Structure 1
């Protein structure tokens, strides 16, 4: 977690074995098809049970082969958007204490509307941040998908700001820790850009 690595459970079998000899084009097709099917199924289920299962899925199973496939999808695509949402969820669930520390520092330092857009309490406890990312993911499956992506992007920017400022604090005394936090901030900033672009594409009807 120190470098915000993809916190996924490695599957026992590779996707290559799962999908046979499918080439890159076929894997891309499957990635887009599975992402579209998951979103459509959740939105069609008025009971909300499908959405709750999708939110809880990573806690029980990791992301396994399908998520490994999504990780290769273009950043501005439906599977790319879902992959980044699930990465954020797993990262926060895995280390909510650090997430809360960095988010709070970012909330104090960042002079923008991102704190309001993300929608976390001020200050936010670790449990409240876990609830926030689950709420954002729930909104992606049942609410306005673009708004959910924008909230996730705002969260990333606040978190990235916090990681940057805490990295500055460690620069002289713990340079390795500072480097890890800087890497984390860069990754979060990239996620924010990707998710914002995905939100715009969704509104334009071209996110597939």
Structure 2
């Protein structure tokens, strides 16, 4: 299975790099849409993150996630981008993107991986994820502060107030957990770019 994962990843990348047919690029771009994520997962999801199939799996998952959650990600980007000052230029996203901008960026990153500089595409993807993580942290901090303020300013610490404060704290914790998982993805993508530049991504 490992050999098949590597063979299919390299075959796909090489095939697109050797063609200037936009229809071929479009078919590769929408591979998950047409074949289903389970089919691609069967090929690549078990591959190590420092391999070509492992990196391609993360890129396809990222595109799917960006297109399905474009509105939420646009909001998180607007929260995180002011902290990451150079992120818009690197990722190719406006400082205040719409959901359509996020969807276009998702396609642009994956297309760039196949038709442009593979390492640059990985860096763009990693930077995008980094900013989303910052946005998640900002939102988690806001929810925690809201919960704390609610308990401090309530006339009486009723069960309803306590329950709402707990809900907000739980939501904040989930956002931070999601952010930690995404941070790992960003690291894997950035490491993939580093290995590609050194000719060591296999």
Residue 193 (1) aligns with residue 187 (2) = yes
2:23 alignment counterpart: 49
Of 46, 49, 61, the residue aligned with 1:87 is 61
Number of residues of Structure 1 aligned to a counterpart in Structure 2? 181
Larger Rg: 2
Q: Does the CA-based 8 Å contact 1:115-1:158 persist in structure 2?
A: no
Gapped runs of 5+ residues in structure 2?
148-164
1:124 alignment counterpart: 97
Residue 177 (1) aligns with residue 171 (2) = yes
2:139 alignment counterpart: 166
1:14 alignment counterpart: none
Cα deviation per residue 1:79-102 (whole Å; 9 max; x = unaligned)?
111111111111111111111111
What SS does the corresponding residue of 1:33 show, helix, strand or coil? helix
Give the CA deviation at 1:68.
Answer: 3.1
What is the alpha-carbon distance in structure 2 between the residues aligned to residue 60 and residue 170 of structure 1? 39
What is the alpha-carbon distance in structure 2 between the residues aligned to residue 106 and residue 58 of structure 1? 28
What is the alpha-carbon distance in structure 1 between the residues aligned to residue 73 and residue 35 of structure 2? 22
Higher helix share: 2
2:88 alignment counterpart: 115
Using the size of structure 2 for normalisation, the TM-score is 0.84
Moved over 3 A (4+): none
Q: Within 5 A, what are the aligned runs for 1:1-208?
A: 27-108=1-82, 110-171=83-144, 172=147, 173=165, 174-208=168-202
Gapped runs of 5+ residues in structure 1?
1-26
Q: Does the CA-based 8 Å contact 2:143-2:169 persist in structure 1?
A: yes
1:3 alignment counterpart: none
Using the size of structure 1 for normalisation, the TM-score is 0.82
What SS does the corresponding residue of 1:75 show, helix, strand or coil? coil
